[in-house]
Amino acid sequence: MTQASSEAPKTGGQLSRLDQIKRHTKVVADTGDFTAMKQYEPLDATTNPSLILKAVRKEEYQTILKQAVEAHRGTGETEKEKIDRIMGELLVLFGSEILKIIPGRVSTETDARFSFDTAKIVDDGRRFIRLYEEKGIARERILIKVASTWEGIRAAEQLEKEGIRCNLTLLFSLPQAIACAEAGVQLISPFVGRIYDWYKKSTGKEYTGAEDPGVQSVRTIYNYYKKFGYKTEVMGASFRNTGQIVELTGCDLLTISPELLEELANNRDPVERKLDPESAMAADIEKVSLDESAFRYRLNEDAMATEKTAEGIRNFAADAVKLEGLIRKQLG
């Protein structure tokens, strides 16, 4: 199942950049598009409301939306209750189809509107696992995606204690990453491209290679985790270009859009491993202790992380509302 290997190619040779990266890093498909998954053979796949919304607007995925709606059309529930159930069913149907294609795990996202309500996030995560298990899919193949708020991290901590693995998303800073690791979550998804976007807009500067702030953020988190022995996996996410991906070769996982997967597959330039545990152990890093007040203060001091976390929650919530609108139309 694993793609990662310690064997390093001497040159690019006949291997594509994508295949070279797979020697050091588990590649994940950042899409709800089944065709792309079959083409690029990722280990895992991630979804979110925005990706599912994009997928169900395509003709070939209309049957999944209709299937979810028809399963609940005749129930005696209120419209809101029906839509909630259909939404859950839709996300799980997509995840179930994805798991027929990939050998690993799929990430399914909790409602962004619950991002500041620990109890509701826990309930949402349990609901998804129950729906998957009703379809005969083991919880080990599911990652429940949760926003990296303090409340989200606490919810993930509880879910992990119940054997429900979590992927902490909308993560933009070391304090968020440290709190996630201390909570024992399975995986985090630091958003490289959105960090880059903020700094580019803020400074007017174009960042490339190792100087990219998004790349630097993931490198810092990776080194911190490896140096202090945390088991939480680091999955770089939200890439804007292949240069960012190449600079993070060696990260535990990288989740990549179909467009960038295609670019990497068509390029045979050599790729060197950039991140590795041995180098991380030698990094000069101070261990940080965070309680709730320290977490909130340090996050507040980071304007980029504060703004991008809030923006991400708003955008995912807005796309969830749009997805509910499509379901409402199908209900007639």
CA-to-CA dists, residue 114 to 39, 84, 181, 305, angstroms = 35, 13, 21, 19
d(C-alpha 317, C-alpha 212), whole Å: 28
Strand partners, 166: 144
Verify whether residue 120 is a known catalytic residue: no
Q: Outline where the chain has alpha helix (H).
A: 17-22, 34-40, 49-56, 62-70, 79-99, 118-134, 150-161, 174-182, 192-203, 213-227, 242-247, 258-265, 277-281, 292-301, 303-331
Which of the residues 22, 26, 145, 308 is marked catalytic? 145
DSSP-derived secondary structure letter, 241: S
Strand partners, 144: 108, 166
Would you state the structure tokens that stand for residue 230, as one six-digit string?
């945390």
**Which residues have a catalytic role annotated?**
145
